[in-house]
Structure formats: structure tokens, C-alpha cells
Amino acid sequence: MPDLRKDPIVGRWVIVSTARSRRPVDYKAFKSEYRYQVCPLCAGQEDKTPPEVLAYRPHGGLPNSPGWTLRVVPNKFPALMVEGSLDREGVGLYDKMNGVGAHEVVIETPEHRKTLASFSEKEFEDLLWAYRDRILDLKKDARFRYIMIFKNYGEPAGASLEHSHSQLIALPVIPTVVIEEMLGAKSHFEEKERCIFCDIIRQEIMDGSRLVAENQEFVAITPFASRFPFEVWILPKRHASSFQEGQKSQYEALAKIFLDVLKRLNKALMNPPYNFILHTAPLQDKASDNYYHWHFEIMPTLTQVAGFEWGTGFYINPTPPEEAAQFLREITIP
Amino acid sequence: MPDLRKDPIVGRWVIVSTARSRRPVDYKAFKSEYRYQVCPLCAGQEDKTPPEVLAYRPHGGLPNSPGWTLRVVPNKFPALMVEGSLDREGVGLYDKMNGVGAHEVVIETPEHRKTLASFSEKEFEDLLWAYRDRILDLKKDARFRYIMIFKNYGEPAGASLEHSHSQLIALPVIPTVVIEEMLGAKSHFEEKERCIFCDIIRQEIMDGSRLVAENQEFVAITPFASRFPFEVWILPKRHASSFQEGQKSQYEALAKIFLDVLKRLNKALMNPPYNFILHTAPLQDKASDNYYHWHFEIMPTLTQVAGFEWGTGFYINPTPPEEAAQFLREITIP
């Protein structure tokens, strides 16, 4: 009998197959085939991107020239435009506004064929600092209400460039997904005066069956109502609503656990395509400090989303998270 | 400057590119390659499926034997199990219940290589009757609160069988997507004492720019905040919350307009993969009769959903619905 499991934060139901559950080998392996040797995101190609808004050059050097280890540039084909005012407008029944926002590409490495899972801890930590630096900079722009950071790795996960990169989109409205999470977390807080994410972390550490990795500052778990097989969330043990307000030691610890999780996924699922998304509180939202809890959600692309998911908002997950966690725990990382 | 447009029912924002908008030829054509001549859904293969729960045999004949024009069978690998009780249970913070439900396959034709777009009006109407017949039958089971009917056509849209079919899933809980639609529609009704869908239909007929097709009973529109390029909704002009309560003349009119829309999409986008979903009121929910309005949503699979969409619940649509509607209107159907 399959389980119907409810996500305690947003109330979303997931059908978890328990009878014929799928192991890692049952998913089609993703063949990452590099088509190019070099691309506009590579070192030496700096003139092929818009001018950088941030770069780490450990040995110095001129902007928009080689020598960088990480570089952030505006997206050449942005989904939203950074210039302009919001101009909210009604069209009969409908609401619209100008598509004002920032859309940036975080070039994670100067090397065309280096994947995130093979980063050093220092390189990974720098990526987290870059996210933080960009959030702090864009936060000053009063038009923006939310900053969404995410990564699409591999074509099946929506990556259109093969060079390792993540993306940042600053939005003039708060995303629906974030609003739903906040409403769920708020209602839990109002009832119990506790953060629901803190409650989840406590229960998962005690239970252990969905624990993938843990260090002093973070836990990595396969959530109880995982939408996708081998979905992993990484949450800070210390309650905090916003990613950018962490201390140095936390980014170090996050780099360690994040890399560890990516290596495990990589080995268990043979280099799977994936998305990861930073869930953090809206900008200038002090009210949610008590009840919202930032975290990363990592979702390997192993199944397809189709009519059922579109129509219901529910998901069918053929690998119970307890089994996924066990597979991932048992991986040995050199 | 792109548009940020808000769906008036659920409040979802969509980024609509207006500058470099994509025309039909800019989307990669889908090559539908049939791998098989015959499959377990074909005429003569009735013993390869679980026994039928419904079949139309215009010239009579025995159950589970050839002679049918349409046949409904339980899914051989169901996502939910039809036997059993719900057994709601708490697991610490979490809620779960048994995965009780029905999962059926509507075999739309006995012919392996016939597509829905090439159906006759009579054949299409029969499909609608089959949906209705199954809803009326499953509605008697008090464990079910919602019946979700959908179709995945083509591998990119999630179809795992190439023989033309749709699916029905009876659920013991109301889907999140439906709850959100109902909440939005209810709040509009409470404020204005009008159905929001009726308001949309009136505005779209008056405006005309997003109208794809119209007959006495139905309109087909590209919604103002279309998530996907060439997304089309078909709505009954007469207010009604539930699909299964229509009159014969309505199913005839629906078959006509639905086929017309599929033919237009098929010609404009060269046989695109798509999903369609029936949105109808929950079973045994009399309260929503006033404010909910059943309809079909058809979504061609032309773009990929990735990190941005997962993280935000927003969508990026590279073809403005006004342009999509114009393309579809200008198609000539023989």
C-alpha cells in the first residue's frame, strides 16, 4: 500500500510508493556530454559577457579580465530588466506591472568542464560568499522584494549552458512558493510558539531514518514528504530566517555538508541532473524572523512532472525518503 | 520590457517576454516516433490489461474482447490502491494515510497509432462521455473527495505509453491546486457576488485578443497570465461547477471546440507534446457551486520547468498569449 504523506509546512500531499520502490540503478543515468571546450563563461572570454558585477581575484587583476576564480555577470538574455519603474496597472480584471528585476549569472569556476561536486571546500565556500555578497548589494534596491538563487545542472534539469553556473533573480514581488511556506510556518508558530523547521530538525535528528549527513551547524535530510526521489534539504541548526545573516563559521560548515551531499548524490545516482534552490526570507520582512528558517532544497531530476502533478500540485515519489537517505548514508566518500 | 502578469484566480505571477517573443517555429518540433505496432492497449490484447470497468461496444460483444471503440481499465501499475481504508495517522509532526484511491486508464481508441487530434467529433464526444460515466460511478465511493482526469501526450509531456490514452485518479484528499483555485474564486465571489471565471469569459469575448475559438456553449482562450506558450483553456459559457452535470448538447459542443483547438495546436506547433487537465469541483462540495467553474486546461510542452519555477511557483513564458491566440486563430482547419 503506498503512503500518502503531507508536507507539514505547505500541506502538499505526496504519494510515496513503498511496495515497488525504485533504487538508484532503476533511474536512467544521465550522460553529461560536453559539447564545447570553451564558452562565453570561460576564463579569457570576459568580453563575451556583460561587464561583471562581482568577481573574486585572489591575486588581483583588472575587472573583466582573466585571473578570477568566481565571477558574477548580468544575464545576457535576462528574464527581467533592471532599468525602469514598476508601473502597476489594471487591465479590466487583470493586474500587470513592468518586468523589473535583476537576472544574474554566477559563474562558479573559470574552468569549462569542472562540476560543482568536484569543488574544493574553499571553492564551494566562495560560492556561498558570492551569493551573500550579491544579496547584500541587491537588497539596497527598494524595488526588490525577493532574491531567488538557484542552480540548474544538466540539460534535463533545465541548464542551457554547460559551464558550471547558478542564477540569481531579484523580483519585485514575493514568490507564491515562499508565501505558502511563510503562511504554513506562521500558523505553526502562532499555535505553538516554535519554528516548524526547528521542530522538523529536532524530530529528524532524533529519528535518524531520514538523516543524510550532519555537522555542528547543519543537517541534511530527505524530507518526510519528499516530492522527488533523493530530494535533500540542508538546514542550519541555529534558527535564522535569512541566508545572508550567517557567521563565517556557518558558511564553512555549509560548504562542507553541501559538498558532501553533492558527492553522495553524484556517486549514488551517477552524476544526476539536479536543481537546487535557496529558500530564504523576503527582503525587508522582519515579521518572519521568528518563524521562517532558511535552507537549501536539492532536487535530482529523475522523474518527469506531467498532467497529474500539474493538475493536483501533488507528486508521486517512487523512492521512499527513508530508503533514499540510507542509500546516501552508505556511500563512501574518499 | 517584459510584462509581469498576475493570474486573477490563484494570484500566480508570470513573466511574459514581449520583446524577443518566440513564434511557433522557434520551438523545437517534437518527433513522434512510434516504436511499436501493437501494445497491451490495442484491440485484441484485452487479456493484457486488468478487466475493464467501462467499454463502449457499438455493435455489442463480450466484456474484455475486441469490438470496443473506447475502453477504461484499472492501471496495471496504480499510483494508489483501490482496496483499503484511509487510516489517517500522525508520525510526530507529520501526517500520513494509506494511499487509497483509484487509478484508471482511458484507452481512447482501439488503434495503436491514432492521435486524439485526428478523432471524429463523435469519437471525441464518446471520450467526454466516458469521463462523465467514470466520474458518476466513482463518486459513489465515499472515500474519494476528488477525481482528477488528465492526459499526457508524447514522451516530453510524460506519456510512458504511446497508444492514445488519458488517465483518471480518484483521490481521498482535495488537491492543493484545486484548493487554491477555489479560495481565489470564493474570495472574488464574496466581494462581487459574481463567478470570476464568468467575469473572465465576458472580458475575453469583449476584448477578443486572446480568443482562439468560440461556439454557442464554449470559449477557448489563451489566458492573460499563461504559464506556458500556447496554453489554452476551454471554458463553458454557462456557469457550472462540475463537468459531469452538463447536458448532451454541451458535450457535443465541447467535442467540437476541443477538437478544433487540438487541430490548431497540432498544425501550428507540428504535433506538440501536451498535457490537458480537467478542472472540476470536488465531489460532494455544494458550497462551491456558486463560485467554481469547471474547465479544461491544455498545456503544450515547449519549455522546460527548472529551478526558477520550482523555487518561485512563477513561470517565464516566451510567447505572449495575444500572439499565441493570433497564431492559432489564423490556422486554417480543413
DSSP state string for A125-141: HHHHHHHHHHHHHHTT-
Size of chain A in residues: 334
Q: In chain A, which residues have pLDDT < 70?
A: 20
SS (H, E, C) B216-233: CCEEEECCCCCCCCCCEE
pLDDT tens sequence across A159-215: 989 999 999 999 999 999 999 999 999 999 999 999 999 999 999 999 999 999 999
Q: Which grid coordinates belong to B152?
A: 499526457
CB atoms under 10 Å from CB of B83, counted, come to 7
Q: Which of B315, B4, B196 is nearest to A89 (CA)?
A: B4
Separation in Å, CA of B58 to nearest CA in chain A: 30
Size of chain B in residues: 334
Q: Mean per-residue pLDDT for B29-51?
A: 92
For residue B152, the chain A residues in CB contact (below 8 A) are 306-307
**pLDDT (0 to 100) of residue B286:** 85
Quick check: helix, strand or coil at residue B48? helix
For residue B100, the chain A residues in CB contact (below 8 A) are 1, 4
To the nearest 10°, report the CA torsion of A171, A136, A300, A99: 10
pLDDT tens sequence across B240-249: 999 999 999 9
Report whether A327 contacts A268 (CB < 8 A): yes
Distance separating alpha carbons of residues B244 and B249, to the nearest angstrom: 13
φ/ψ of residue B6, rounded to 5: -110, 130
Distance separating alpha carbons of residues B178 and B254, to the nearest angstrom: 22
A177/B contact by beta carbon, under 8 A: yes
A194/B contact by beta carbon, under 8 A: no
Q: For A180-205, give one letter per residue: b (16+ CB within 10 A) or e.
A: bbbebbbebbeeeeebbbbbbbebbe
Check CB contact under 8 Å for A307 and B93: no
For residue B58, give Cα distances in angstroms to A4, A316, B50, B62, B287: 40, 37, 22, 12, 39
User: Is B39 among the annotated ligand-binding positions?
Assistant: yes
Residue B158 amino acid letter: G
Active site (annotated) includes residue B293: no
Distance separating alpha carbons of residues A28 and A30, to the nearest angstrom: 6
Residue B21 amino acid letter: S
Report whether B195 contacts B294 (CB < 8 A): no
**pLDDT (0 to 100) of residue B153:** 96
In A137-166, the residues whose Cβ lies within 8 Å of chain B are: 148, 150-152, 157-159
Check CB contact under 8 Å for B92 and A203: yes
Q: Mean per-residue pLDDT for B114-139?
A: 97
One of B165, B188, B293, B295 is an active-site residue; which one? B165
* A81 DSSP 8-state letter: B
* B240 DSSP 8-state letter: -
CATH number for the domain including A102?
3.30.428.10
Quick check: helix, strand or coil at residue A148? strand
Tell me, what's the ipTM? 0.92
Q: Mean per-residue pLDDT for B22-26?
A: 87
Distance separating alpha carbons of residues A209 and B92, to the nearest angstrom: 13
User: Is B239 among the annotated ligand-binding positions?
Assistant: no
Q: For cell 469521463, what's the residue?
A: B131
* B308 DSSP 8-state letter: H
DSSP string, B164-217: -EEEEEEESS--HHHHHHHHHHHHHHHHHSS-HHHHHHHHHHHH-TTEEEE-SS
User: Is B295 among the annotated ligand-binding positions?
Assistant: no
Chain B interface, mutation test: which of A87, A178, A222, A308, most B Cβ atoms within 10 Å? A308
CA end-to-end distance (rounded Å), chain B = 38
Domain span at residue A291 reads: 3-84+93-330
Separation in Å, CA of A97 to nearest CA in chain B: 5
Name the residue among B6, B158, B316 with its Cβ closest to that of A304. Answer: B158
Quick check: helix, strand or coil at residue B58? coil
Paired strand residues for B97: A4
Separation in Å, CA of A113 to nearest CA in chain B: 21
**pLDDT (0 to 100) of residue A195:** 97
DSSP string, B264-287: HHHHHTTS--EEEEEE-PPTT--G
Check CB contact under 8 Å for A2 and B306: no
Quick check: helix, strand or coil at residue B235? strand
For residue A64, give Cα distances in angstroms to A57, B6, B41: 11, 38, 60
Separation in Å, CA of A201 to nearest CA in chain B: 11
Report whether A46 contacts A52 (CB < 8 A): yes
In A15-34, the residues whose Cβ lies within 8 Å of chain B are: 15-17, 20
Number of domains in chain B: 1
**pLDDT (0 to 100) of residue A294:** 98
B208/A contact by beta carbon, under 8 A: no
For residue A312, the chain B residues in CB contact (below 8 A) are 148, 169, 171, 175-178
Residue B306 amino acid letter: A
Q: Mean per-residue pLDDT for B32-52?
A: 94
Report whether B329 contacts B212 (CB < 8 A): yes
Q: Which of A198, A195, A144, A148 is nearest to A172 (CA)?
A: A144
Name the residue among A13, A99, A306 with its Cβ closest to that of B173. Answer: A13
Report whether B306 contacts A157 (CB < 8 A): yes
Q: Mean per-residue pLDDT for B163-177?
A: 96
**pLDDT (0 to 100) of residue B188:** 97
Distance separating alpha carbons of residues A55 and A142, to the nearest angstrom: 24
Instruction: Using the predicted structure, report yes or no on whether residue B20 has a pLDDT greater than 80.
Output: no
Separation in Å, CA of A62 to nearest CA in chain B: 32
CA end-to-end distance (rounded Å), chain A = 38
Higher pLDDT, B33 or A94: A94
